[in-house]
Amino acid sequence: MSKPRIAIVPGDPSGIGPELIAKLVNEEDILDGAHVLLVGDGHLWQQGAKQAHLEVPLNAISEGEVTNQSGISHLDLDTIDPADIQIAKVTVAGGTTSLRCLDKALDLAQAGLVDGILFGPFNKAAMTSAGLNAEDEHKYMARYLGYVGYHSEINVLDALMTTRVTSHIGLKEVAENISQEGILKAVNLANDTLRKAGKTRPSIAVAALNPHAGDNGKFGREEIETIEPAVKKAQEKQMDVTGPWPSDTVFLKAKRGEVDAVVTMYHDQGQIAIKLMGFERGVTVAGGLPIPVATPAHGTAFDIAGQNKANLGATRQAFDLLVRMAKTHRAERDAI
């Protein structure tokens, strides 16, 4: 099978995205597993090269030449004036270029011209000011693609994935939004994504909601009435799923490599643990979308933007994971 083609979007130009991509494409082995297409204004890539004190090859091609490209190529856009870029500041212009570059990458992927998308860190405030009109970029991408199936953000640290049953809602709303259906969707998402990343039979642990997993109903009945039945249903589908595990110990199992994924009940239950375990290696995957999409889990880091201090670790991890997923995506598409 030929190498997959990865579209790379710079992210918000006010942050560390362009610098990170400049460093990424200068990795010696970056083309071992994939071809790379840089999607965005030429001056954004030049900005990153200048910030990182590196060269970024801009082999410009037209959209009609994308499927014939190899190595590192560049699809030039015109989405922002260089004078409108303000380092370390939230701007409408920064949000606009983020959305327009992402739109083009999504168009290419939907047309089958690229097999996966990597984007540098976005700034949600900037994107919102530019018309994001969605909870986050994941919901935006699903709407843009016209995708109505189940999808959710997945967090990845090395070989460990986390999905969650509820996400960006208030803590007081979590219990009432947990359902067997929601748990099964999160379990299926973890299982399917791990399989696409090359794991034949993923092992998945489901976290409890209450202290000590409810202590037989003493601290709540969600484990007895909702979580345990959902775990049993997953097991009946021949998935390797266990739980509910107390959330203060389940990540010890994960850290020891005893499971491949943890399904958590709410946002910070997993985010705090996984970021403490390796903030500079964390990856976010747009789980469930019909196109593989990944990004480093950290933000735009305005405090170090433009200073050549950005750590490449998470971006390289995101790229490597995306390449594996893109290979599976390409194979599945070619088999149709």
Q: Is 28 helix (H, G, I), strand (E, B) or coil?
A: coil
pLDDT above 90: percentage of residues in the chain: 88
Residue among 160, 178, 157, 161 at smallest CA distance from 169: 178
Residue 311's CB: how many other CB atoms inside 10 A? 17
Residue among 137, 8, 15, 9 at smallest CA distance from 85: 15
Domains of the chain: 1-147+289-336 (3.40.718.10), 163-281 (3.40.718.10)
Q: How far apart are CA 117 and CA 104, in angstroms?
A: 11
Q: What is the pLDDT of residues 106-155, one digit of tens each?
A: 999 999 999 999 999 999 999 999 999 998 899 999 999 999 999 988 99
Strands 261-264, 116-119: parallel, antiparallel or unpaired by DSSP?
unpaired
Tokens of 309: 């201090």
Prior bond of 244 cis (ω within 30°): yes
295 membership: H or E segment, kind and range: strand 293-296
Residue among 118, 141, 156 at smallest CA distance from 323: 118
Instruction: Provide the pLDDT confidence category of residue 198 given band limits of 50, 70 and 90.
Output: confident
**Which DSSP letter does residue 122 get?**
P
pLDDT at 163: 95
Contact 318, 142 (CB under 8 A): no
Residue among 251, 290, 254 at smallest CA distance from 273: 251
Q: Model pTM?
A: 0.90
287 membership: H or E segment, kind and range: strand 282-287
